[in-house]
Amino acid sequence: MAIRVWSDWGLSGGRSWLIACFYDNSTCNEASAMGAFESLIITSSYYVAFGGFADIYSGILRLGGKEIPVAIKILRGKMTRKDMARFYREAVIWGTLKHEGILPLYGVAPNVGPQKALGMISPWIDKGNLTYHLENHPQISLEGRISILIQVAAAVQYLHSLSIIHGDLTGNNILMKDDKNILLCDFGLSRIWMDNVPTLHTTSIGKCNYPWAAPEVIFNDNPNEPPFTKSSDVYSFGCVMVQVLTGHLPYPTKNVIYHHLTKSRHPPRPTNTEFISDELWEFMLWCWAGIPSDRPSMEEVSAFLTSHVHDF
């Protein structure tokens, strides 16, 4: 299966769009037959990774004589008008982002994968996501863990500076560029923040990641109150802190999440790590403040982590 690039685009700009037209095997047998044409080839017959909403295929993008390994994100579902709107919202928000801690979007291509669906094309990141990385590298030092958190905070701070809410901060949506550096990904639940425009922020229960989502997102019963805010990102960041500092998900087992969320409204203090000092725990409790506006801003999170990096 191959796709011929239709419009001009380049990787260096970081904001360019790949608009491609589909050539199936009957009209264009092999990518090599396309000669000088740039092409996108899906190299996996099945998805190689998946999340709550999408399947990820691996592929090769031929561009200017180079072969670039790419990931192709295809939303699961029938591509109804609602799904299309979701696809475009994610692609448009993602496509505007340019930051060293954010996975770039190379472009979108139609008719890819077995479903012949629209795909979002990004560089292939070999090392997997942060959840997987932490589970497989229990030896990471406290300094290494704080460095990961500082990078995640910087990426979220960048989003917030553009009035964008990530909406789904979890270890699964943070990729490891290498052993030390991260790339934030998955803008499927991202929103542009606009004061007093609650309809843009409403979500239905079940469309969030429970171990990381803020209680006001999970138990959102007031349609006039936007549940996704910069503060709900900060709450999730506190849960990512638990994950990075312990190497495990924020709750010890699935069935205790509801209990904790309804009682204390945040994860329990982990007992299996020496990395969570009282000072760090106090800070995490601040990120989980019951009233969202009482939580620190992402600037404060970054400042706290960077100024204390050698104290922990």
**Could you list the residues that contact ligand ADP (CB under 6 A)?**
49-54, 56, 71, 73, 103, 122-125, 128-129, 172-173, 175, 185-186, 188
Write out the DSSP string of the chain. Answer: -EEEE-S---STTSS----EEEE-TTTS--GGGGTTS-EEEE--SS-SEE-SSEEEEEEEEEETTEEEEEEEEEE-S---HHHHHHHHHHHHHHHT---TTBPPP-EEEEEETTTTEEEEEEE--TT-BHHHHHHH-TT--HHHHHHHHHHHHHHHHHHHHTTEE-S--SGGGEEESSSS-EEE---TT-EE--TT-GGGT---TTSS-TTTS-HHHHT---TTS-S--HHHHHHHHHHHHHHHHHSS-SSSSGGGHHHHHHHTSSPPPPSS-S---HHHHHHHHHHT-SSGGGSPPHHHHHHHHHHTTTT-
Regarding 173 and contact with Mg ion (CB under 5 A), the answer is yes
**Binding region for Mg ion (CB under 5 A) out of 33-41, 50-58, 100-108, 150-158:** 50-58
Give CA–CA dist 178/200, Å, rounded.
35
- 283 interface partner picked from ligand ADP, Mg ion, none, CB below 5 to 8 A per type: none
| Nearest distance in Å: CB 116, Mg ion | 23
- Shorter beta-carbon distance to ligand ADP: residue 39 or 173: 173
Residue 90 within binding range of Mg ion, rule CB under 5 A: no
Q: Given candidates 38, 55, 186, 216, which one binds Mg ion under the rule CB under 5 A?
A: 186
148 contact, one of ligand ADP, Mg ion, none, CB 5-8 Å limit per kind: none
From the list Mg ion, ligand ADP, none, partner contacted by residue 49 (C-beta under 5 to 8 A by kind): ligand ADP
Stretch that binds Mg ion, among 65-73, 113-121, 159-167, 181-189 (CB under 5 A): 181-189
List the single partner that 122 binds among ligand ADP, Mg ion, none, CB under 5 to 8 Å by kind.
ligand ADP
CB of 184 to ligand ADP, least distance (A): 10
Nearest residue (beta carbon) to Mg ion: 51
Measured at CB, which residue is nearest to ligand ADP?
51
Euclidean distance between CA atoms 69 and 58, whole angstroms? 7
Least spacing, CB of residue 90 vs ligand ADP, in Å: 8
Query: Between 50 and 258, whose beta carbon lies closer to ligand ADP?
Result: 50
Q: Total number of residues binding Mg ion (CB under 5 A)?
A: 3
Task: Give which of Mg ion, ligand ADP, none residue 107 binds (C-beta under 5 to 8 Å, depending on kind).
Answer: none
Query: Could you say which of ligand ADP, Mg ion, none residue 301 binds, taking C-beta under 5 to 8 angstroms by partner kind?
Result: none
45 Rama class: left (phi>0) / alpha (psi -120 to 50) / beta: alpha
- For residues 42 and 69, what is the distance between their CA atoms, to the nearest angstrom? 10
Q: Does 38 bind Mg ion (CB under 5 A)?
A: no
* Chosen residue from 51, 95, 107, 171 binding Mg ion by CB under 5 A: 51
Output 86 or 295, the one with its CB closest to ligand ADP: 86
Closer by beta carbon to ligand ADP, 113 or else 296 = 113
Say if residues 220 and 195 touch (Cβ distance below 8 Å): no
List residues binding Mg ion (CB under 5 A): 51, 173, 186
